[in-house]
Amino acid sequence: MLVAVLGTTISPYLFFWQASEEVEEANSVKRLHTRMIPMRARLLKRRLDVGVGTFFSNVGMYFIMLTTALMLHRNGITHIETSKEAAEALRPLAGNFAALLFTVAIIGVGFLAVPIMSVSAAYAVAETLDWRHGFKNRFETARAFYAIIILSTLLGIAIDFTNVNAIKALFAAAVLNGLLAPFLLFAILIVATDRTLMRNHPAPLITTLLVAVTTLAMLGAALGMFLL
């Protein structure tokens, strides 16, 4: 469970979609005044953007976990196998509107997560294979990139019509993310501290230390899952 929580907190979309989007936005020079902003100011804006987003996403995660603990675990509900059971678990909070509340929440999460996960997969594959990618490109010039987005979305829809347990699949994906993330973080550390690759803008010491501690913690959790 700890590995799964870490895997959903530091997940693949942060390594690919978020990073690529920040770079695309930072390099956008369509407006004249953007060209006039110094690089240091643009980097500060990017850090602020990421920092604010990280803060609020973690606040949201905390209250989701807190609500789950108070509403479900305290009442002895510790194993949820289907979306129907998840909706019923909300009955103490929402009463007869439990199913409606859960449905609206699932739709909202879907609108948020499905595009991000599909696009992060497209960025990961396209960057690995050195394909043209990014939303700055039209479909005709980045067919493979957009094809992965379309195929990933269709695959996700197809899974809904199989016998795969969605709850277990989500948990397994989170665990897999938790196992892979330390290696991605280690690679990021190598790149971010290299002055040549970073064009004399390496990651600050405090950021490097935080990422290093996080990498070791996630690696320790992953090892503990197999050894304990």
Q: How far is CA 96 from CA 72, 77, 81, 86, 135, in A?
A: 17, 18, 21, 14, 43
CB 11 within 8 A of CB 61: no
Mean pLDDT of the region 12-20: 79
Domain ranges of the chain: 2-179
> pLDDT class for 211, splitting at 50, 70, 90?
very high
Average pLDDT, the chain: 85
pLDDT at site 186: 93
pLDDT at site 172: 92
Q: How far apart are the first and last CA of the chain?
A: 13
Q: Which residue carries 């930072």 as its tokens? A: 26
Kindly report the three-state secondary structure assignment for every residue of 8-49.
HHCCHHHHHHHHHHHHHHHCCCCCHHHHCCCHHHHHHHHHHH
> pLDDT class for 36, splitting at 50, 70, 90?
low
- Of all residues in the chain, the percent with pLDDT exceeding 90 is 32
pLDDT at site 21: 79
Mean pLDDT of the region 215-228: 92
In this model, does residue 76 exceed pLDDT 70?
Answer: yes
Distance, in Å, from the CA atom of 112 to the CA atom of 115, rounded to the nearest integer, reads: 7
Distance, in Å, from the CA atom of 92 to the CA atom of 98, rounded to the nearest integer, reads: 8
Q: Which residue carries 């007869």 as its tokens? A: 96
Amino acid at 139: F
DSSP 3-state of 41: helix
In this model, does residue 34 exceed pLDDT 70?
Answer: no
pTM listed for this prediction: 0.78
What does the pLDDT look like over 117-152, one tens digit per residue?
889 889 989 988 999 988 888 999 999 999 999 999
